[in-house]
Amino acid sequence: MIEYIKICRIDHWLKNTFILFGHVVALVLYYDLDLPPGFLLNAFLSLLPACLVASSYYILNEILDAPFDALHPAKKMRGIPAGKVNVPILWVLMTALLAGGFALAWLFFDNHLYLVSLGVLMLFALLYNIPPVRLKDKAFLDVISESINNPLRLLLGWFAVVPADVTALPPLSIILAWWFFGALLMTGKRYSEYRFINDDTISGGYRRSFRTYNEQRLIMAMIGYACLFCFCTGIAMAVYEPLNNLVMVFPVILLAIMAYFRHAMKEETARLEPEKLLSNPLIITTTILTGVISVWLLYAQKNDWFNCKDALHLMEAGWEKIHK
């Protein structure tokens, strides 16, 4: 039984905390930081269908990837390539989890765009895993298609807490920023995995996209996604007045990104499983610090404790006086 539970990857449910970002965006831009009745309950319930559906596509991933995992130095010990589980039972379990997830989504949420977003999430999981499309075998498209889970989780969080008649999406700049942030993380995972295998023949057999990738291309892609994330985030902060104060948190965001790059490129990191890439204490600390500072800045702007735009105007005015 323990092997079947491992294949469901319950420990990977942590990724669904990205749904919380959708709750935060709705709370700030739709509710103006005024917590409505039922918000917290809906926020909690939104995680349950997503976790069940996630486990269903983790099972699908393991079934379809078993021949390739057998070539991986660590993944060859997983349940299917090691012969520890019965594949027909996995198909039944996958179907039950998928049906349960969509049933809960229909039951919990009046805004059925939550259900639609969940369906699109599963659709991209199929496109990512199933031949002949199988996007995970296509260099760079694998990262783009896998990281689309980030904005889809953002939509799950958004539609879980906004009223049933709301069909408007979150701002495009925020959707794209969250997508590029996911692409940065996924490319870092590819980079770590490429170095972990450290053999072009084995890595190319394990995943076809690795026949195109090399360390230089992956580093360049990480830099590109980091820049696009910062660019789109800056647009959102500048355009939407409730977010203006968040420009002050940019130095901490950059510190978190640098910590991520530093950890991904350390020699000892190449010997770790890529899933452990985010376990670095500095990454965790800077991420928490970013969240805490962001919350304070949002409430500071709402309650007129501090306004970044006014402060910057005063600084510019003072600079002009000095140089006259």
Lowest-pLDDT range of 42-56, 125-139, 228-242, 276-290: 276-290
The domain ranges of the chain are 1-165, 171-324
The rounded distance, in Å, linking the Cα atoms of 136 and 138 is 6
Contact in structure between 308 and 241 (CB atoms under 8 Å):
no
Q: What is the mean pLDDT of the chain?
A: 88
Is 210 exposed, middle or buried (CB count within 10 Å of its CB: 0-12, 13-18, 19+)? buried
Contact in structure between 218 and 190 (CB atoms under 8 Å):
yes
pLDDT at position 76 over 80: no
Domain 1-165 maps to which CATH number in 1.10.760.10, 1.10.357.140, 3.40.50.1370, 3.30.2350.10? 1.10.357.140
The rounded distance, in Å, linking the Cα atoms of 24 and 249 is 16
The rounded distance, in Å, linking the Cα atoms of 212 and 234 is 32
Question: What's the mean pLDDT in 108-127?
Answer: 94
Spell out the residues 6+ positions from residue 36 whose beta carbon is closer than 8 angstroms to its own.
Answer: 161
Per-residue pLDDT, 206: 77
* Helices marked H in 162-209: 172-197, 200-206
> Tens digits of per-residue pLDDT, 285-317?
888 899 899 999 999 999 989 888 777 777 777
pLDDT at position 239 over 90: yes
The rounded distance, in Å, linking the Cα atoms of 115 and 104 is 9
pLDDT at position 18 over 80: yes
Q: How distant, in Å, are the alpha carbons of 31, 44, 129, 220 from that of 35?
A: 7, 14, 39, 42
Q: Would you place residue 32 in the very low, low, confident or very high pLDDT band (cuts 50, 70, 90)?
A: very high
Per-residue pLDDT, 180: 96
Per-residue pLDDT, 276: 62
Contact in structure between 224 and 179 (CB atoms under 8 Å):
no
Contact in structure between 129 and 64 (CB atoms under 8 Å):
yes
Lowest-pLDDT range of 126-130, 204-208, 277-281: 277-281
Question: What's the mean pLDDT in 177-203?
Answer: 87
Q: How distant, in Å, are the alpha carbons of 19, 289, 321 from that of 315?
A: 37, 26, 10
More reliable by pLDDT, 196 or 60:
60
Q: What percent of the chain has pLDDT over 90?
A: 51
The rounded distance, in Å, linking the Cα atoms of 138 and 150 is 19
Per-residue pLDDT, 272: 53
